[in-house]
Structure 1
Amino acid sequence: MRIVLASSSPSRRMILSSAGVDPLIRPADVDEDALLTSLAEAPPAERVAALAEAKAQAVAGDFPGDVVIGGDSMLLLDGRLQGKPHTPERTIGRWREQAGKKAELLTGHCVLFGEQKVVETTSTLVYFAQASEADIAAYAHSGEPLQCAGAFTLEALGGWFIDRIEGDPSSVIGLSLPLVRRALYSFGLNVNDFWNR
């Protein structure tokens, strides 16, 4: 029995690896834009959870005896959901918007084990620093935030520009260990069942 991560996110993999689990990585092929468009009227937390569930379901059929985890994160800033910026220019624009502000990072999770399922979105408040223009540009051109929801990381270079968070740090990085633990317990499993030995 393994944990299968339906994501190519190095941050999600790092969280599990640091917590003693060597997950099987099987990124899901999901049309995120189409799914988000179909859920345009849904509350933000529901939209992020739907992305996570679509990813987990996309690979679950290949791993019937394993625990499959799908995840997705988006930043809710000034009432608008923001995903990955993808380019340095968009990253700079995002940082000019969010510097000195507070925003809500929503991380959707779907944990599947056979017919059992836990789908939940965690919410963490992120307080962005009033970063200088030079630092914003340097950070954007480092490449680090281009594939990150909200155009930042907490655990690497981006940590310089986050004043504080209120909530689960692992959820901000990409995967809530407390949520996954609760899901495993609800399935009758233990966390240590998956530790590297």
Structure 2
Amino acid sequence: MSPEPKYALLLASASPGRRRVLTDAGLHFDTRVSQVDEDAVLAAAVAADGPQDADATALLLARAKAENVAATAGTHTLVLGCDSVFEIDGVAYGKPHTAPVATERWQQMRGRSGVLHSGHWLIDAGTGTGHGTVTSTVVHFAHVSDAEIHAYVASGEPLPCAGGFTIDGLGAAFIESIEGNYQNVIGLNVSMLRELLARHQVPITSLWR
């Protein structure tokens, strides 16, 4: 059995998919959900700097979540915040939340391609030092029928997901292919986490269970 790591990893997310990615990667981690008002964060950013690009939005929200949780985390804790934003036709989309919005999204996306941007921000709760990155994956959707869209939306799966789809659930049947990292579409790219850990001088191997 591996020794307990010197640093604790704390995931600032309620996403089952992100938790599963870290679990499958064999990492020690705990979870604490952030209390960030995403709409307020975005409104403040727009007021200060103007409209945000999709990738910038993903990183901004990932940082806000990490910093929110880090404010109450202990020393020797690295807090990972993540956020995903889907982009199609140059327009950024978050979670659809409602069935009518999810249905409209899928009618727009079917047979086409978009880009899923996932922001990652890793902050040392003891020092306040943080580093971030965004990874992007192109997603190619199948020509799904209206009946398939209605059935998928009725399942409830797409409502809390960026862009209104998942690749690790029912939605996988409607995704023909991707260009880029598979985990990134789930919302957490372990390869990018390894790079962020290295910037904190923490090897990912020290977090292996």
Q: Aligning the two structures, in what range does the TM-score lie when normalised by the shorter sequence?
A: over 0.9
Identity over aligned residues, as a percent? 39
Matching of residues 1-197 of structure 1 within 5 Å? 1-40=7-46, 41-63=51-73, 64-113=75-124, 114-196=127-209
Q: 1:34-64 deviations in whole A, cap 9, x for unaligned? A: 2222333232211211100000000112222
**1:108 CA displacement:** 0.9
Q: 1:104-127 deviations in whole A, cap 9, x for unaligned? A: 111111011234321111111111
Indicate conservation of the 8 Å contact 1:75/1:106, yes or no. Answer: yes
Q: 1:11-53 deviations in whole A, cap 9, x for unaligned? A: 1111001111242111111111122223332322112111000
Query: Gaps (5+ residues) in structure 2?
Result: 1-6
Larger of the two Rg values belongs to structure: 2
Please, what is the CA RMSD of the aligned residues?
Answer: 1.2
TM-score by length of 1: 0.95
TM-score by length of 2: 0.90
Equivalences, count: 196
| Bigger Cα displacement from structure 2, 33-42 vs 127-136 | 33-42
Instruction: Find the aligned partners of 1:86 and 1:66 in 2 and give their Cα distance.
Output: 32
Q: 1:116-149 deviations in whole A, cap 9, x for unaligned? A: 3211111111111111111111111111111000
Match of 1:20, SS? coil
Query: Gaps (5+ residues) in structure 1?
Result: none
| Bigger Cα displacement from structure 2, 14-23 vs 50-59 | 14-23
